[in-house]
């Protein structure tokens, strides 16, 4: 019974993770195209102002959301049966109504504080106008996060992917491109974000209503606001602490150094964040499963899934992170010549940190979705404070590299601590016996390429060939080490899902 249940859940994660992974690939590609466009048109200084404004917006959005998106996933997953529909409706209505109100309030506050933030904090008067325009997006942005996360409750990750990884990035790219063509630069870039977010929210609410028509029916809603808000406020503090890990670097660079350095650093950080693609994809489908299994007391199944999922996250993330480390300078040159020199070492530091992040799998979710969110909060606050201190010490002396080292150390440290805590709390860890296979394959492939590079001394665009050589070598070595039983289940489930999507696409094309 245990094996059958684990097999079913493993296939569910594979299907959902596969859909999320494909969507994330397209979404990341669109987001990168937008970043390339922004850096090429705006340059380091203009792009730095955009990055600073977006960082301030991120903090404001985090506060405005109150962590309600996490509460929706945790509690909504418990009431999917017919008897719990009134409770589910209550949770969704509470989250939507509250996030809309707080989003509007946050927008008003940011609008009136724009001059103070721009001049008083960053000494950048040109930042005020973008901040005010960014503030217009806050109500849409806050509600979009809650609405899109709601699809995870129903395990329809494809709905979230359509909105957040396909529709919104594509629209942002198009609107920003048109704005640049007609002469708007920084303001045009911000306008692209505002308009795409507002339209993505409309689509997200429409899809949510399709998933749960009772949202607007006469079904009486039932909710426990104190329980929901108590959990969400704790995860809000957790989210803010996470921002201290991911946005402190940009903000402190803006305060201590210049907008141009923020631009160089942000380009490297955005590139490094591509290594989170697999982790985020599997987290999206794994979060409600964790909450459900803990609620049902099915700890053995959860342990098997935790370990298998972690191994696959590592196996798929490792080549991406290694490519960033091995080819950092030519990758950063894609943003422009002025980004390559200072940004390459930052990319190496953050790329390695994201590899550590991926190597422990959904360990953060194991704490928050199982009710240990207060412990996760203590972790985040403590290590967020360490990150601030490290940035304060290293940025004045080393600039963008100092910010990269500080953030890299902090990300790595927080993940190591979470692994220890999950083991202490639940006596489980994310490492399978075959965990060594992807690690060994990655190290050997990197050594092979470094040997080829030393012998041939490639130049120019030959680095793209190097990426291909490394990737193929890694794949061949991984296959040579052979797949485990659960690995085969995941791979076969993903392949079947891709085949069905391909057949459906061909069928739609024939009908046209």
Write the pLDDT tens digit of every residue in 283-301: 766 666 766 677 677 777 7
Per-residue pLDDT band for 487 (boundaries 50, 70, 90) equals low
| Beta-carbon contacts of residue 348 (< 8 Å; ≥ 6 apart) | 324, 325, 328
The DSSP 8-state label assigned to residue 218 in this structure reads S
* Predicted pLDDT at 279: 80
pTM, two decimals, is: 0.74
Tokens of residue 325, six digits: 């480390």
Per-residue pLDDT band for 204 (boundaries 50, 70, 90) equals very high
Tokens of residue 314, six digits: 């590592």
Indicate whether 107 pLDDT > 80: yes
User: Which of 412, 395, 270, 397 is CA-nearest to residue 332?
Assistant: 270
Task: Decide: 399 and 257 in contact? Cβ < 8 Å.
Answer: yes
Share of the chain above pLDDT 70, in %: 83
Indicate if the alpha-carbon torsion angle 380, 76, 295, 301 is positive or negative: negative
The ranges assigned to domains in the chain are 2-239+254-432+484-502
* Predicted pLDDT at 249: 85
Task: Decide: 145 and 61 in contact? Cβ < 8 Å.
Answer: yes
User: If you count DSSP H runs as helices and E runs as strands, how many of each does the chain have, helices first?
Assistant: 21, 0
In terms of Cβ atoms closer than 10 Å to its own Cβ (0-12, 13-18, 19+), residue 468 is: exposed
The DSSP 8-state label assigned to residue 482 in this structure reads -
User: Which of 200, 71, 78, 80 is CA-nearest to residue 139?
Assistant: 200
CA distances from 271 to 242, 316, 330, 346, 347 (A): 19, 16, 12, 10, 7
Q: DSSP string covering 225-243, please?
A: HHHHHHHHHHHHHHHHHHH
Per-residue pLDDT band for 164 (boundaries 50, 70, 90) equals confident
Cα-atom radius of gyration of the chain, to the nearest Å?
A: 23
Task: Decide: 265 and 250 in contact? Cβ < 8 Å.
Answer: yes
């Amino acid at each position: 019974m245990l094996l059958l249940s684990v097999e079913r859940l493993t296939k569910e994660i594979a299907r959902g993770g596969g859909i999320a992974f494909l969507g994330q690939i397209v979404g990341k590609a669109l987001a990168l195209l937008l970043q390339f466009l922004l850096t090429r048109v705006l340059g380091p200084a203009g792009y730095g102002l955009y990055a600073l404004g977006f960082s301030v917006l991120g903090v404001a959005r985090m506060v405005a959301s109150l962590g309600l998106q996490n509460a929706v996933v945790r509690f909504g997953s418990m009431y999917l049966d017919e008897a719990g529909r009134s409770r589910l409706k209550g949770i969704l209505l509470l989250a939507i109504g509250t996030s809309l109100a707080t989003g509007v309030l946050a927008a008003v506050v940011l609008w009136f504080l724009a001059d103070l933030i721009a001049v008083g904090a960053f000494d950048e008067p040109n930042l005020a106008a973008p901040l005010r325009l960014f503030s217009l997006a806050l109500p849409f942005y806050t509600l979009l996060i809650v609405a899109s996360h709601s699809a995870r409750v129903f395990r329809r990750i494809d709905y979230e992917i359509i909105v957040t990884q396909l529709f919104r990035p594509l629209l942002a790219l198009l609107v920003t491109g048109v704005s640049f063509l007609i002469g708007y630069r920084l303001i045009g870039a911000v306008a692209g974000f505002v308009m795409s977010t507002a339209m993505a929210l409309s689509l997200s609410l429409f899809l949510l209503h399709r998933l749960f028509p009772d949202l607007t029916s006469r079904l009486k809603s039932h909710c426990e606001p104190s329980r929901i808000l108590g959990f969400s406020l704790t995860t809000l503090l957790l989210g803010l602490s996470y921002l201290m890990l991911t946005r402190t670097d940009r903000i402190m660079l803006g305060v201590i150094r210049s907008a141009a350095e923020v631009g160089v650093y942000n380009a490297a950080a955005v590139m490094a964040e591509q290594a989170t693609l697999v982790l985020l994809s599997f987290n999206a489908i794994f979060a409600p499963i964790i909450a459900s299994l803990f609620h049902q007391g099915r700890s053995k199944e959860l342990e098997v899934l935790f370990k298998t999922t972690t191994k696959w996250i590592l196996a798929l993330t490792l080549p991406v992170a290694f490519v960033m480390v091995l080819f950092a300078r030519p990758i950063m040159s894609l943003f422009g010549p002025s980004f390559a020199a200072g940004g390459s070492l930052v990319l190496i530091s953050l790329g390695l940190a994201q590899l550590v992040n991926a190597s422990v799998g959904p360990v953060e979710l194991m704490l928050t979705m199982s009710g240990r969110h207060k412990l996760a909060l203590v972790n985040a606050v403590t290590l967020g404070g360490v990150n601030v201190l490290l940035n304060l010490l290293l940025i004045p002396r080393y600039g963008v590299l100092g910010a990269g080292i500080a953030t890299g150390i902090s990300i790595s440290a927080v993940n190591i601590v979470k692994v220890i805590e999950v083991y202490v709390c639940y006596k489980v860890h994310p490492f399978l016996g075959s965990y060594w296979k992807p690690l060994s394959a990655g190290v050997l492939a990197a050594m092979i390429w470094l040997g080829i590079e030393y012998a041939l001394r490639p130049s120019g665009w030959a680095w793209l060939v190097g990426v291909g050589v490394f990737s193929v070598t890694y794949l061949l070595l991984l296959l040579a080490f052979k797949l485990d039983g659960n690995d085969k289940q995941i791979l076969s489930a993903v392949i079947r899902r891709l085949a069905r999507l391909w057949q459906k696409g061909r069928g739609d094309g024939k009908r046209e």
